[in-house]
């Protein structure tokens, strides 16, 4: 994969045919609003932040996948000034940091920054279980599951201090397929309640 920062608001990736075949990725998977697109975009934004210091976390995001002769795909991620700027060419808008949640609030820092933890919010326990089953084979670090007060949703924290960049990107890809990646800053009177401490991924994956 090759990537280049086009401007402060746009980054472009060239995904070669051999890599697409190796990862069994087809053009159909790039359809707008799909779980694959959400996870794939999260993974690429993490790479762009780490390698190019590219940060558009405060903006709506639009993506464009263009098939090239020979089977390669040119994938562009750009910041939009407003939701109105998004048209039929671009993917459904998806914010990766909740703007204002009672128990979870953004810290203002880039949510893909390598802070040593990944936080993900799941709408259902089933989503948390499905994500855990996928990442369990390659992630054995500490992970905890919490319930979010006044909702039926869950939050998971994963410690990533001792994992490689490739594993981190792989985690983001799969977790974003099932939940919302965000920056947890606390600051609420109603704190998440611990359900499983330190071994959430291994425990949930065995269910």
Whether 98 is covered by a domain: the verdict is no
* 200/197 Cα distance (integer angstroms): 6
Whether 108 is covered by a domain: the verdict is no
Whether 105 is covered by a domain: the verdict is no
Whether 177 is covered by a domain: the verdict is yes
CA distances from 192 to 12, 131, 159 (A): 37, 20, 17
Whether 11 is covered by a domain: the verdict is yes
The residue that leads in pLDDT, 22 or 35, is 22
pLDDT of 103: 25
74 and 121 co-located in one domain: no
Mean pLDDT rounded to a whole number for the chain:
78
Stretch 78-104: mean pLDDT? 44
pLDDT exceeds 60 at position 97: no
The residue that leads in pLDDT, 128 or 69, is 128
The number of domains in the chain is: 2
pLDDT of 184: 63
Beta bridge pairs of residue 4: 12
Stretch 22-51: mean pLDDT? 80
CATH code of residue 186: 3.30.70.1950
130 and 187 co-located in one domain: yes
Q: Choose the final residue of a domain: 39, 69, 85.
A: 85
Q: Is the pTM of this model over 0.75?
A: no
pLDDT of 124: 92
Whether 101 is covered by a domain: the verdict is no
Q: Which domain covers residue 195, as residue numbers?
A: 117-205
77 and 124 co-located in one domain: no
Whether 166 is covered by a domain: the verdict is yes
Whether 97 is covered by a domain: the verdict is no
pLDDT exceeds 70 at position 95: no
* 113/31 Cα distance (integer angstroms): 27
pLDDT exceeds 60 at position 68: yes
124 and 199 co-located in one domain: yes
58 and 131 co-located in one domain: no
70 and 130 co-located in one domain: no
75 and 136 co-located in one domain: no
33 falls in which pLDDT band (50, 70, 90)? low
pLDDT exceeds 80 at position 111: no
pLDDT of 186: 58
pLDDT exceeds 80 at position 32: no
CA distances from 150 to 103, 143, 191 (A): 9, 23, 11
Stretch 66-92: mean pLDDT? 70
Stretch 70-92: mean pLDDT? 67
Q: Quick one: which of 172, 137, 138, 170 has its CA closest to 156?
A: 172
């Amino acid at each position: 994969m090759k990537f280049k920062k086009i401007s402060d608001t746009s980054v472009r990736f060239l995904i070669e045919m051999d890599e697409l075949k190796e990862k069994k990725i087809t053009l159909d998977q790039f359809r707008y609003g799909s779980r694959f697109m959400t996870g794939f975009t999260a993974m690429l934004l993490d790479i762009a932040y780490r390698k190019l210091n590219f940060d558009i976390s405060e903006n709506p995001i639009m993506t464009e996948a263009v098939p090239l002769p020979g089977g390669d795909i040119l994938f562009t991620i750009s910041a939009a000034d407003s939701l109105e700027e998004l048209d039929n060419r671009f993917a459904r808008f998806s914010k990766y940091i909740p703007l204002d949640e009672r128990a979870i609030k953004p810290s203002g820092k880039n949510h893909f920054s390598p802070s040593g933890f990944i936080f993900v919010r799941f709408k259902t326990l089933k989503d948390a279980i499905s994500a855990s089953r996928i990442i369990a084979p390659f992630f054995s670090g500490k992970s905890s599951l919490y319930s979010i007060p006044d909702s039926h949703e869950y939050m998971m924290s994963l410690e990533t201090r001792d994992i490689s960049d490739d594993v981190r990107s792989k985690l983001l890809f799969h977790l974003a397929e099932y939940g919302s990646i965000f920056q947890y800053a606390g600051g609420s009177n109603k704190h998440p309640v611990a359900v499983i401490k330190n071994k959430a991924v291994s425990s949930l994956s065995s269910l």
